[in-house]
Structure 1
Amino acid sequence: MTGSPAAAKKAATAQHNRALLDAAAHGDAAAVRAALAAGAHIEGRDTHHRTPLLLAASHDHVAAAQTLVAAGADPNARDDRGDTPWLVTGVTGSVRMMRTLLPAKPDLRLTNRYGGTSLIPASERGHADYVRAVLRETDTDVDHANHLGWTALLEAVILGDGGRAHQEIVELLLTAGATRDLPDAHGATALQHAERRSFTEIAALLKIQR
């Protein structure tokens, strides 16, 4: 005795959904298009509640992400850690992915589980090209503070290595209007952190008054 048509349709849809998630995770844009054409849900989720677009963004599969964005994928869909396709670009530092997602109009005010926008982890990780692009091409709040009271400027100093990339990021943030004297939750400024860590070049940048 065979199952009902409804059950068969449900099983087929589940199979297409899995195919779409797998294709997005592996960056196979042709397979993404095929799964969508077969009836896969564009906002289907894996066991960690990640959508196909989030998987593509996490692995920097630009072509797959372009296909999903063109089909209407949500750049704000959260997984079980609170990440979204847009937010993970701050972690990966991919300018190409950032620009792929912009036409989908991501909500730049959304924050990750630490309370940070994409600019904050990008500043921490030394993704200078990403920081430059986000500051030029979006209206991201340069002074947004996360749960620890750290802005992008503070995070670049507190968690950065003081090297060339972080020096450039500090300069980019200051040029974009970052408040240099905005303290963290304990009252310490970026300059104080830079001096404590012997980041001479960064401290000099923070002392320059524009």
Structure 2
Amino acid sequence: MISSKFFFAAAVLFVASLCQHSIAVAGVYEDLRWAVEDNNTGDVTKLLAKGADPNTPDENGNTLLMVAIRNKNPALADVLTNAGAKLNLRNRYGETAIMLASYNGLESVVEKLYIKGAEINHEGWNPLIYAASGGHPKIIQLLLEGGVPVNSASRNGTTALMMAAKGNHLDAARVLLKNGADPNIRNEWGKSALDWASSKKNTDFVELLKSHGAKE
């Protein structure tokens, strides 16, 4: 008859093995995150080949793909995407990888993520509004061609045109207006793109908006 001491010892060994496995997994993840933070594409590739998970988020929900994009490293973003990085995960602020790529002006990354299935047309803050916030007209055009409504708005009513005006991004505004952006939409505080442009004392921006029908 097998004694209770045997079962206890076996249980202790089993728990210990689980703990060791968890520590090993955590160590691999930390190595992978450091490699991404350091833009070390070679080490990232090696760790992924050993089975490291590219989708483990940090305490703020940022994935490794998001980190690579924030570091403006398209090559590393490609490595992570090809390794199975999930494209539509969100961090605690509701941001996705393609939103961050749009804000940071990484046109090639935006295009590749879109082709691979990254969502661009969703409620709330979206890649188009982020692209306008960063002032990237080529990305704006790409997203509009992909089907994002030019007047899509965040939950507080902020549009891409408003963010272009807020950031003094004249070329971004030209693309939006050319594609039918409405300069008279107001957010929940009653502010329009013209209000933002006027507050920045940007006369060229004000004239552009008025030439497209913006009203005081």
With normalisation by structure 1, the TM-score equals 0.81
1:18-29 correspondence runs (5 A): 18-29=30-41
Contact 1:21–1:44 (CA under 8 A) maintained in structure 2: no
Q: Which amino acid aligns with 1:76?
A: N
Match for residue 59 of structure 1 among 54, 71, 76: 71
Judged with a 3 Å threshold, the aligned counterparts in structure 2 of structure 1 residues 4 and 58 are, in CA distance, closer, same or farther, namely same
- Tell me whether 1:146 sits opposite 2:154 in the alignment: yes
Query: By how many angstroms is 1:54 displaced?
Result: 1.4
- The residue aligned with 1:160 is 167
* In structure 2, distance between residues paired with 1:141 and 1:152: 10
CA offsets, 1:60-105, max 9 Å, x none?
A: 1111110111122111112233222112123312213212322331
For residues 105 and 196 of structure 1, the distance between their equivalents in structure 2, rounded to whole angstroms, comes to: 38
- Do structure 1's residue 126 and structure 2's residue 129 form an aligned pair? no
> Relative to 1, partners in 2 of residues 1:9 and 1:180: Cα closer, same or farther, differing over 3 Å?
same
Query: Of the two, which has the highest radius of gyration?
Result: 2
Q: Is the 8 A contact 1:153 1:170 kept in 2?
A: yes
Distance in 1, Cα, partners of 2:32 & 2:116: 19
State the AA in 2 paired with 1:25. E
Alignment partners' CA distance in 2, 1:12 and 1:193: 52
Matched, 1:190 2:199: no
Q: Could you tell me how far apart the structure 2 residues matched to 1:5 and 1:25 are?
A: 30
Superposition TM-score, scaled by structure 2 size: 0.79
Consecutive unaligned residues in structure 2, runs of 5 or more:
1-11
Q: How does 1:1-210 map to 2 (within 5 A)?
A: 4-110=16-122, 115-136=124-145, 138-157=146-165, 159-161=166-168, 166-195=169-198, 197-209=200-212
1:204 deviates by: 2.8
Aligned length: 201
Between the aligned residues of both structures, percent identity stands at: 26
RMSD: 2.6
Unaligned runs of 5+ in 1: none
